[in-house]
Copies of this chain bind each other. A is one copy, B any other.
Amino acid sequence: MNFSSKLLEKAVDEVSQLPGIGKRTALRLVLHLLNRPKSQTIQLSDALTNLVEHINFCQNCHNISDSEICEICANPKRNSTIVCVVEDVRDVMAIENTAQFQGHYHVLGGKISPIEGIGPHNLNIESLVKKVKNEHLKELIFATSSTIEGDTTNFYIFKQLEGLDIAITTIARGISVGDELEYADEVTLGRSIINRIPFENSLKR
């Protein structure tokens, strides 16, 4: 691209480094910034700088937090003996939105993926094992993604905890609520048959 301005070029270059944003989209976004009040863009820049300068990760669960311990871990009403293991912050938000879980979380920061060069030591697994050993947890719930990498991560953690007195569960895989059977893939449908539950239990919500 032929930029008539170095400032424009620099801004487009920086924006196009974000994932999923190419040069053309970046140019469209940057030109939009020039069409709106200057103060709004300064607010945007400040918000991003503040974020990376001042963000904390909860010392207990590694969730993103403004303080040293996140709101969930600091909440005395929540059950600290049940810990839900998730990949990242978005998963915490998704589960919190269901309002069905009152325990704590443990954010791994990803999943084991040899292709992307992510091994167990790049994730927050050691602190999880330490937590299980020292804090008398009752239950660990795996809520990682339903992929080979997610399953591998679960299995690795499971192996690390072998012999410890803790219930290890995984969230149910099955047909989504509202889905029609004929469009479900066979693996999901197969799992949902194997892991069928008593009908009375399905009446509780």
Q: Are A2 and B49 in contact (CB under 8 A)?
A: no
Contact A50/B10 with A18-B32, A28-B19 known, Cβ cut-off 8 Å: yes
User: CB within 8 Å of B: which of A71-87?
Assistant: 71-72
Asked if A172 CB lies within 8 Å of chain B CBs, one says no
Among B1, B46, B90, the residue within 8 A (CB) of A45 is B46
Given contacts A2-B97, A4-B72, contact A41 B31 (CB under 8 A): no
Which A residues lie at the B interface, using CB under 8 A? 1-8, 10-11, 13-15, 17-21, 25, 27-34, 38, 40-56, 58, 63-66, 70-72, 88-90, 92-93, 96-97
Given contacts A4-B64, A4-B70, A45-B49, 15 further A-B contacts (CB under 8 A): A2-B97, A4-B93, A5-B56, A5-B66, A7-B47, A7-B54, A8-B55, A8-B64, A31-B88, A31-B89, A34-B52, A34-B64, A41-B52, A42-B49, A45-B46
